């Protein structure tokens, strides 16, 4: 008991009582953990360090191998993807865990990165790049809290969010998962987002409320990799960040300071490398900086099968390097039995110390206790009578729609073409105008996302039709514009996630050109010859190369990846709310300028970081 600390401080009776209760609680967690670790066998300890994927591990496996955690990959869903199917699955895993000798409950984790994007009918919020454009961290906190409610209602304890990457090169397929290119902007969102998910701190009751464990990812400098150094065949994803220590701290470590201050429960290590060393074996940055210097006391988690990318001769050698570097829990979706076998052999051979194993298990158990998992192996929201109603709750959809409104960046508005007149004869063109899958992007129902009516929500065209006072003409290909007062053309990217979204020079079948597709340019030309003034809305995870095109557009709006509430775009187009978004990333003139970021010595973009017009103000710089 820390009597000396209490005795030597002159504090009020209330504060003393609070300090005593907190110390008592802290001691009880420390004691409970120490007591458990002391009892645990090596098999039980290594089981806790193992996270398997739901398709490759049954509840019986949880029992037999004492597994500490389960996850689902993007698109891996139970049964009919109903809320009750998720709850039933997690209940079965927990029942198995509860049947082990020590009854340590599992943590179930999933990527709920822009809402509970795994579940049909869940609210899909704008991706992080759009939230960065709002410059509204408190809105992001509310979004995280709504996401936590929908996640907890499915019985899940843990989301692998927020991504705290600093997007330094638009050619990276994960740029849209970052709040922006500037570390101060990303840092401003880190704490509020984590508190929205977890609550103020991990206090033993988080899972009892409507909160979930958060994950700051991917440690570190995942957004700073050099183009052409990509791993696993990617052009830049999982590549090598080449920076001096000061720049590494100033740009990529900075957002983790508010994340740790917000008591984030876990940190996911990055696939990428720093100065040639894979982060998953980077002891100096994982143990030295994150754990010892910055004092992170939660769980360091590997990325999906990431140990396999460590350049070593055998699986056992890769595991030894990762665990000795400071990885506490390993996400080994399919080959988790090999992980257990090889780590066990490594410990028995003295290649990994029992002290390292005990430190990892202590962190895992402490985080489980601090989140309230032992008391609440199934979040109470999962069994609440109105739980179904929480998925895609109207209040969450309203919040998402507000985020969409605030995220739109008005790039050009010649002649004040916008806002649209509700009485005007409006022509709408483009697949992207009427497609929830396209407006949601990657990490939506499927890992890579996909076109189509993939979940419930409103498209941009739905929103336009609801606000217009005359019939709206819609043509996916842009035919029939003549005779209308205004043409609204929606263009953009196809959905993608991770390295699949890396830019590669054309021609290639699965490329992401980060320019407008040929079919979209043809559509724009078709409308242009009609002489009808054009307002173009761009749905993309990053800036597209439009310098050669924008001259013939009267208006242009960056709408990013708005998610399920596309009607929010129409709200701004009709002036229900004026545009207020500011670019969270620099908008380049051409590919040749990449990478280009605010603060660069040579900086001549199409639109600078922070740019954004509103109605009634000067209408264009292009």
Q: Which residues bind ligand GLC (CB under 6 A)?
A: 73-74, 111, 160, 217, 303-304, 498
Give φ, ψ of 553 to 5 degrees.
Answer: -100, 140
Query: In this complex, which beta carbon is closest to ligand GLC, that of residue 269 or of residue 489?
Result: 269
Give the span between the Cα atoms of 581 and 439, in whole angstroms.
18
> What string of DSSP letters covers 554-578?
SEEEE----TTBTHHHHHHHTTSS-
375 catalytically annotated: no
Nearest distance, CB of residue 426 and ligand GLC, angstroms: 40
Q: In what order do the strands lie in the sheet with 107-110?
A: 158-159, 107-110, 69-72, 50-53, 330-331
The active-site residue out of 237, 281, 303, 406 is 303
Beta bridge mates, 445 = none
Inter-residue contact 212 to 480 (CB < 8 Å): no
Give φ, ψ of 453 to 5 degrees.
Answer: -85, 70
181 catalytically annotated: no
> What string of DSSP letters covers 285-311?
IIIIIIIIIS---SEEE--TTGGGGS-
Query: In this complex, which beta carbon is closest to ligand GLC, that of residue 309 or of residue 431?
Result: 309
Dihedral sign for Cα atoms in the order 553, 558, 560, 565: negative
Nearest distance, CB of residue 333 and ligand GLC, angstroms: 8
Taking each helix axis as running N to C, give the angle between helix 137-152 and helix 183-198, from 0 to 180 degrees, rounded to the nearest 10. Answer: 40
Nearest distance, CB of residue 215 and ligand GLC, angstroms: 7
Query: In this complex, which beta carbon is closest to ligand GLC, that of residue 217 or of residue 282?
Result: 217
Query: In this complex, which beta carbon is closest to ligand GLC, that of residue 74 or of residue 595?
Result: 74
Instruction: Collect all residues with Cβ–Cβ distance below 8 Å to 200 and sequence separation of at least 6.
Output: 263
Query: In this complex, which beta carbon is closest to ligand GLC, that of residue 155 or of residue 442?
Result: 442
Nearest distance, CB of residue 522 and ligand GLC, angstroms: 35
Nearest distance, CB of residue 177 and ligand GLC, angstroms: 8
Query: In this complex, which beta carbon is closest to ligand GLC, that of residue 304 or of residue 503?
Result: 304
Nearest distance, CB of residue 173 and ligand GLC, angstroms: 11
Element of type H or E holding 215: strand 215-219
Q: In what order do the strands lie in the sheet with 240-241?
A: 240-241, 273-274, 277-278
Cα(first)–Cα(last) distance of the chain, in Å? 68
The active-site residue out of 342, 498, 502, 571 is 498
Instruction: Strands of 365-415 (E only): list them.
Output: 409-413
Active site residues: 303, 498
């Amino acid at each position: 008991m820390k009597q000396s600390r209490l005795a030597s401080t002159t504090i009020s009776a209330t504060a003393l009582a609070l300090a005593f209760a907190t110390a008592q609680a802290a001691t009880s967690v420390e004691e409970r953990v120490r007591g458990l670790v002391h009892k645990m066998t090596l098999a039980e300890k290594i089981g806790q360090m193992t996270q398997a994927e739901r398709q490759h591990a049954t509840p019986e496996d949880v029992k037999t191998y004492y597994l500490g955690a389960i996850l689902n990959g993007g698109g891996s869903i139970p049964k009919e993807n109903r809320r009750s199917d998720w709850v039933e699955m997690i209940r079965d895993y927990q029942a198995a865990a509860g049947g082990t000798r020590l009854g340590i409950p599992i943590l179930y984790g999933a990527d709920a990165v822009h809402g509970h994007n795994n579940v049909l009918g869940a609210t899909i919020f704008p991706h992080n790049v759009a939230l960065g454009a709002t410059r509204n961290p408190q809105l992001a906190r509310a979004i995280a809290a709504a996401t936590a409610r929908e996640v907890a209602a499915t019985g899940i304890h843990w989301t692998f969010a927020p991504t705290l990457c600093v997007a330094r090169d638009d050619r990276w397929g994960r740029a849209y998962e970052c709040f922006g290119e500037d570390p101060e902007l990303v840092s401003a969102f880190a704490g509020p987002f984590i508190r929205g998910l977890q609550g103020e701190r991990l206090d033993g009751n988080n899972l009892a409320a409507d909160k979930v464990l958060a994950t700051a990812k991917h440690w570190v400098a995942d957004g700073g990799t050099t183009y052409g150094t990509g791993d696993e065949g990617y052009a830049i994803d999982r590549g090598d960040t080449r920076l001096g220590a000061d720049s590494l701290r100033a740009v990529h470590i900075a957002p983790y300071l508010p994340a740790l201050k917000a008591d984030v429960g876990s940190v996911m290590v990055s696939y990428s490398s720093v100065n040639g060393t894979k982060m998953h074996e980077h002891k100096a940055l994982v143990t030295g900086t994150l754990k010892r210097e910055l004092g992170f006391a939660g769980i360091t988690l590997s990325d999906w099968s990431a140990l396999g990318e460590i350049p070593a001769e055998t699986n056992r050698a890769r595991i030894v390097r990762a665990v000795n570097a400071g990885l506490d829990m390993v996400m080994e979706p399919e080959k988790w039995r090999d992980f257990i076998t090889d780590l066990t052999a490594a410990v028995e051979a003295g290649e990994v110390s029992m002290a390292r194993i005990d430190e990892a298990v202590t962190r895992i158990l402490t985080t489980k206790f601090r989140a309230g998992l032992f008391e609440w192996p199934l979040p109470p929201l999962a069994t609440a009578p109105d739980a179904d109603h929480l998925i895609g709750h109207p209040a969450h959809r309203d919040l998402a729609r507000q985020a969409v409104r605030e995220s739109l960046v008005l790039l050009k508005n010649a002649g004040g073409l916008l806002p649209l007149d509700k009485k005007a004869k409006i022509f709408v063109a483009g697949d992207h105008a009427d497609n929830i899958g396209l407006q949601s992007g990657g990490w939506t129902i499927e890992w890579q996302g996909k076109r189509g009516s993939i979940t419930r929500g409103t498209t941009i065209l739905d929103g336009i039709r609801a606000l217009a006072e005359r019939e709206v003409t819609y043509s996916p290909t842009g035919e029939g514009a003549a005779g209308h007062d205004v043409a609204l053309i929606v263009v953009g990217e196809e959905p993608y996630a991770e390295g699949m979204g890396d830019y590669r020079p054309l021609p290639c079948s699965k490329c992401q050109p980060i320019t407008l597709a040929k079919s979209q340019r043809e559509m724009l030309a078709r409308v242009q010859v009609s002489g009808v003034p054009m307002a173009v809305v761009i749905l993309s995870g990053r800036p597209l190369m439009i310098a050669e095109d924008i001259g013939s557009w009267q208006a242009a709006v960056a709408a990013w990846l708005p998610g399920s509430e596309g009607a929010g775009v129409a709200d701004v187009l009709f002036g229900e709310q004026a545009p207020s978004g500011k670019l969270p990333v620099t908008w380049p003139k051409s590919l040749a300028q990449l990478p280009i970021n605010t603060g660069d010595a040579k900086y001549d973009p199409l639109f600078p970081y922070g740019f954004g017009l509103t109605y009634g103000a000067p209408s264009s710089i292009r």
